[in-house]
Amino acid sequence: MDAKDPRSLDPDDQPLFIKSTYVPRQPQDAPAPSEQPRPGDTLPPSERPRPPQGGPRRRKNRNTAGLLALILGGFGVHRFYLGEPMVGVLYLAFSWAVIPSILGLIEGSQLYRMTDDAFDAKYNKDDRTAAGPAAVQLEVVAEELRKLNELFKAGTITEGELKAKREEWLKQLFE
């Protein structure tokens, strides 16, 4: 090989543009970046809570569903959006007929007349991630307050202990 051939050069003798793309390797005994402790972590990597698979769920919007039903209702697009893929496939299979288009118009008008609460109860019922961590925390605090009340009624804790624990839980809720 020729001395000018870049393959024959020592890595330190390579041109500057190649050096700029160099990423140093971690020592073999070093933990992977995902297993390295983050500031504030007290749990080992094997015991850390993992995020839910598939990412966060998105709330369905009543207006979007209604618009899809009015415009593309004959193809069942609104049913796919609302999480009813089997019905959407039926709409798609019979999209050559007029009936799915008529049903799409009817369902679109029904979706627009539906209240937000009724829509959420029907199509967003199991979506706690969209409600946010405050709603989940509220449920936890409410459950703990119920347990404290039962302990007080059973005579296990005194009124002073009940008040102290209640204040503690309510303080956590409003932090």
Q: How many CB atoms lie within 10 A of CB 104?
A: 24
* Residue pLDDT, tens place only, 63-74: 999 999 999 989
Do 149 and 134 belong to one domain? yes
Residue 154 lies in a domain: yes
Do 121 and 133 belong to one domain? no
Q: In this predicted structure, what is the pLDDT of residue 6?
A: 54
Residue 31 lies in a domain: no
Residue 133 lies in a domain: yes
Do 120 and 68 belong to one domain? yes
Do 134 and 79 belong to one domain? no
Domain with 87 in it: 62-126
Share of the chain above pLDDT 70, in %: 59
Residue 7 lies in a domain: no
Do 110 and 137 belong to one domain? no
CA dihedral 162, 165, 169, 172 (to 10 degrees): 150
* Residue pLDDT, tens place only, 10-33: 555 555 555 455 555 666 666 565
The mean of the pLDDT values for the chain is: 75
- pTM, whole model, 2 decimals? 0.43
Among residues 77, 70, 75, the alpha carbon closest in space to that of 107 is found at 70
What is the tally of structural domains in the chain?
Answer: 2
For residues 109-124, give the mean pLDDT.
87
Share of the chain above pLDDT 90, in %: 18
Residue 152 lies in a domain: yes
